[in-house]
Amino acid sequence: MKTVYFTHSLESCWNHGNAHFLRGVLSELTARGHQAEAWEPRDAWSRANLVADHGEAGLEPYKRAYPELQSHRFDPPLDLDRALDGADLVIVHEWNDPALVAAIGRRRATGRFTLLFHDTHHRAVSEPEAMKAFDLSRYDGVLAFGETLAEVYRQWGWGDRVFVWHEAADTRLFRPPTVEQDREGLVWVGNWGDGERTAELERYLFAPTAATGLGLDLYGVRYPEAAKRMLSRYGVRYHGWLANAAAPQVFARHLATVHVPRRFYVEQLPGIPTIRVFETLACGLPLVSAPWSDSEGLFDVGRDFLMVRSSSEMAEALRALKSDPGLRAELAAHGLAAIRARHTCAHRVDELMAVLERLGAVAPSPQMEIAE
Secondary element (H or E) of residue 259: strand 256-259
Distance between CA atoms of residues 361 and 352, nearest Å: 11
Structure confidence at residue 195 (pLDDT): 78
Residues 111, 139 contacting (CB under 8 angstroms): no
Is 36 exposed, middle or buried (CB count within 10 Å of its CB: 0-12, 13-18, 19+)?
Answer: buried
Tell me what percent of the residues of the chain surpass a pLDDT of 70.
97
SS3 at position 303: coil
- Quick one: DSSP state of residue 205? I
Residue 219 backbone phi and psi in degrees, to 5: -125, 140
Q: At what angle do helices 325-342 and 275-282 cross, to 10 degrees?
A: 110
pLDDT(364) > 90: no
- Name all domains of the chain by residue range, CATH numbers in brackets: 2-168+345-367 (3.40.50.11010), 186-342 (3.40.50.2000)
How confident is the model over 82-114, as pLDDT tens digits?
A: 999 999 999 999 999 999 999 999 999 888 999
Q: Give this prediction's pTM.
A: 0.95
Q: pLDDT tens across 324-349, in order?
A: 999 999 999 999 999 999 999 999 99
pLDDT at 369 over 50: no
Tens digit of pLDDT for each residue in 37-91? 999 999 999 999 999 999 999 999 999 999 999 899 999 999 999 999 999 999 9
